[in-house]
Amino acid sequence: MPFASLAFPYSLWYFARRAGSGDIAPTPARDLERGDRGIDASPAAGPAHARGGLPPAAFDELRETLRAVSGRRITLLVNRGNRGDGVIHLGGRQLLRSLDLRWTEVYEPRAPEKIQADVLLVFGNGAFCRATHSLIPIVQRYADQVSRVIILPASFDLRCPAVRTFAASWDDRYTVFCRERRSFGDLEAAGVRPRRLALSHDLAFLADLGRWARRPHSGTSGIFRRDGEAVFDWRPRHLPGTDVSRGPDSESHVLLDYVARHAVVHTDRTHAAITAAMMGREVWLYRNAYFKNEAIYEHSLVHWPRVHFVGRLPFSFRQLVRSLYFHHLQRRAYKLRRRYRGWKELKRRGASAGRR
């Protein structure tokens, strides 16, 4: 039997298994049928810790660590990510500037073989999980060229063999910050031995979103994943919206502009939820394919009165097909179109050369 004839049913079986993963109590679907809440006069939002969302000392240990490397040559490794990662980068750079640090940046897709630095700072974010862990070899390569590696607040999925091996390699050069307790506890239980293992919060909470928070807003929107972190639970079908977080990290303003327009946001995108909460909107945060959303909610968002977490919901075949299409078929179709255009261009150049 041809492989192609097996691929689609196997994909359905694989994703159906994933749809049932997780140990979160189900949430009644009727509780999620929220419509337009009308105009909502939300407070202006500066950095979240300044408004009572997080305690004032939430980032003290991180600040202390960064102050200690002031005056040294610092390279900041920026992970390749989506628009939500761009909000993390925004908050992180604001933090570094507030400490009067000077640094040079290297970007994951164009990372050089060597750097000239004493300290490596790493935007880890969600780049240490089964779906995304391409940052690991770059960090390991640079670790041999510096005396200190500081991984800024990130999540670590130790179910991924590559992440587990990476964590086991940490030594006295490494200082590692987790952005939620699940990663922190798992790393402690695994017996990792960096110089310091610390608990902090997602750096997006340090971004100043005041100008977005003050914008007029109304209505309800859904921002749901269509990638490898999507789960195949029921989703409210009446919600308008798109996966606006899907896009390059250089376009964080697109995500922020979209979130700012709405009074109520339903999402399984971590940073759509965080930014909406910081703007004072009502947020319904749904689970994703691993523990990240639940863990960040429990560590950083549980005390926000207008933020709610949605656990496992009934399986949705519609959601499975949508995610399968966008994550696999559409992406492959895009690659085929790109190759076809390249082939046509080569053919055109060959024909032009032959006429000379």
Residue-level pLDDT at 140: 98
Please identify which residue in the block is written with the tokens 């940073």.
271
Helix (H, G, I), strand (E, B) or coil at 278: helix
Q: Which pair of structure tokens corresponds to residue 252?
A: 């964080």
Whether residue 335 is predicted with pLDDT greater than 70 in this model: the reply is: no
DSSP per-residue string spanning 216-258: ---SEEEE---STT---B---TT-----TT-S-GGGHHHHHHH
Residue 240 pLDDT? 72
* pLDDT for residue 29 is more than 50: no
The CATH classification of domain 48-206, taken from the options 3.30.310, 3.40.50, 1.10.3210, 3.30.70 = 3.40.50
Mean pLDDT of the chain: 83
CA 42, distance to chain mean position in Å, is 25
Query: What's the pLDDT band for 7 if we cut at 50, 70, 90?
Result: very low
Q: Residue 2 contacts by C-beta under 8 Å, 6 or more apart in sequence? A: none
Check whether 32 has a pLDDT greater than 60: no
The pLDDT assigned to 213 comes to 97
Structure confidence by residue, pLDDT tens digits, 246-286: 999 999 999 999 999 999 999 999 999 999 999 999 999 99
For the segment 58-74, the average pLDDT, to the nearest whole number, is: 98
Query: How big is the CA angle at 92 (ends 263 and 228), to the nearest 5 degrees?
Result: 65
SS3 272: helix
Question: Is the CB of residue 95 less than 8 Å from the CB of residue 121?
Answer: no
Mean pLDDT of 78-98: 97
Q: What are the percentages of helix, strand and coil residues in the chain, rounded to 5?
A: 45, 15, 40
Closest CA to 276 of 295, 293, 299, 301: 301
pLDDT of residue 28: 41
Q: Is residue 147 predicted with pLDDT exceeding 80?
A: yes
Q: Which two three-digit tokens encode residue 350? A: 């060959």
- Among the listed ranges 13-22, 132-141, 347-356, which one has the minimum average pLDDT value? 13-22
Residue 26, classed as helix, strand or coil, is: coil
pLDDT of residue 307: 97
Parse the chain into domains and list their residue ranges.
3-46+210-310, 48-206
Q: What are the structure tokens assigned to 317, written together?
A: 């075949």
* Distance separating alpha carbons of residues 232 and 225, to the nearest angstrom: 10
Nearest residue to 108 via CA among 139, 87, 144, 84 = 139
- What pairing do the DSSP bridges indicate for beta strands 196-199 and 282-286? unpaired
Please state the rounded mean pLDDT for residues 27-48: 43
pLDDT at 290: 83
Residues 180 and 8: their CA atoms lie apart, in Å, by: 36
Cβ distance 197 to 178 under 8 Å?
Answer: yes
pLDDT, position 35: 40
The torsion region of residue 274 among left (phi > 0), alpha (psi -120 to 50) and beta comes to alpha
